[in-house]
Amino acid sequence: MIRFLLNIFLAVVWCALSKFDGWNFLGGLFVGAVVVSVFSRATSGEPYASKAYRLARFVLYFCKILVQTNLQVAWEVLTPKMHQTPRIIRYPIAGMTDVQRTMLANAITLTPGTLTMDISPDGRWLYLHCMYAKDRDAAVREIDELWSNMRRGIFS
């Protein structure tokens, strides 16, 4: 977080030394990211840009899922035959923090065709409704892949 704030500060300084507009601020963010990355390497910390790269990869992955599921639901709406194979799935979330549980539940609910229904009282299970879950194991693998990408992109 400190490195991000330093990057913002460097971008503002960059704009103060030239003119303040959107493109200059983006340029300042880029130059600030390079400076903070070099500083991070010199202090033997994790490279600053690697976290941004992992986050960008997760965002692209999630956008791909959103497009795929939107197309699947749109196809369902536009065709006369029902292709749904709904199922309620119990997904294990033991060992996750409250923030991780909340973010995973929200990501699942944001994708069309899936909905987080409840969390068990002991906090060990998420109950999900999936519109297209003919095979339970395949549906669980998809949620596992989402969680794995989220963990690498956001929480590592």
Distance CA 96, CA 71 (A): 31
Q: Is the dihedral of CA 83, 125, 155, 148 positive or negative?
A: negative
Residue boundaries of the structural domains of the chain = 2-42, 48-155
Residue 155 banded pLDDT, cuts 50, 70, 90: confident
Residues 40-94 pLDDT 10s: 777 766 777 777 788 889 999 999 999 999 999 999 899 988 888 999 999 999 9
Which residues touch 134 (CB under 8 Å, ≥6 apart)? 85, 87
Average pLDDT over residues 98-107: 95
Distance CA 150, CA 142 (A): 12
What is the Cα 104 distance to its own chain's centre? 9
Query: DSSP 3-state assignment of 117?
Result: strand
Distance CA 89, CA 106 (A): 16
Answer yes or no: pTM beyond 0.85: no
Q: Edge-to-edge, what's the strand order for the sheet holding 87-92? A: 87-92, 125-130, 114-119
- Taking the CA atoms of the chain, what radius of gyration do you get in angstroms? 21
